[in-house]
Chains A and B, each alone.
Chain A
Amino acid sequence: KQEVTQIPAALSVPEGENLVLNCSFTDSAIYNLQWFRQDPGKGLTSLLLIQSSQREQTSGRLNASLDKSSGRSTLYIAASQPGDSATYLCAVKDSSNTGKLIFGQGTTLQVKP
């Protein structure tokens, strides 16, 4: 059974700092991995999607990497800003017929001005 874990559960950093969020999964047979942002009480905003054959994806100040063999992904945020404060969720899409997403518990990030 696929399990997704995110560490740390919460993180507080000063503005301008570069930071890394971690995601690990137990079964390497994934279709893709996706990072989402969630503001309090809101839905999910997709940030980056990495196909199983890819190693990384970049969008602006965000860079996500994927190492399937070790079951790990990282989300790197450069030059953090207070507007980056949110919960970040990673999810793996399994290779079943449904392609359901299996989520980690999330990392809640606070960027202090």
Chain B
Amino acid sequence: ETGVTQSPTHLIKTRGQQVTLRCSSQSGHNTVSWYQQALGQGPQFIFQYYREEENGRGNFPPRFSGLQFPNYSSELNVNALELDDSALYLCASSRDRAEQYFGPGTRLTVT
């Protein structure tokens, strides 16, 4: 167990809807990175938040957005859901962008 928690564990949404995923970082960590893992693929970097500011973004459209709170927990928001957004969403926390510790993930299914 890494101490990183994510909620919910699983959810089902309809195409066009919006979704918010949550991540609580490990104690003492100030950085959260989000990854998308499609079935049978390796995780892909979405973006990173460091001390409440976005600190880098992967090749994902603007409908993927996020924020980080003063307690360093984080949210990932996805608007206008598409079928291809169905994936396991992983968050990882770290201290000052050092080694990343992963949470259990949120399984999103878009129908």
CB contact list, B17-41 vs A, under 8 A: 33, 35, 40-41
Interface residue? A112 (CB, 8 A): no
A96 CA / B90 CA spacing, docked (Å): 21
A107 CA / B103 CA spacing, docked (Å): 21
Complex contact A102–B101 (CB within 8 A): no
Complex contact B55–A97 (CB within 8 A): yes
Complex contact A89–B42 (CB within 8 A): yes
A43-B90, A43-B103, A49-B99 known; A100+B43 contact, CB < 8 A: no
Complex contact A100–B33 (CB within 8 A): yes
A105 CA / B43 CA spacing, docked (Å): 8
Interface residue? A4 (CB, 8 A): yes
Closest-by-CB residue of B relative to A108 is B40
CB contact list, A32-89 vs B, under 8 A: 34, 36, 41-46, 49, 89
- 9 A-B pairs with CB atoms under 8 Å apart are A36-B102, A43-B102, A43-B104, A46-B102, A89-B42, A98-B45, A100-B33, A101-B92, A103-B44
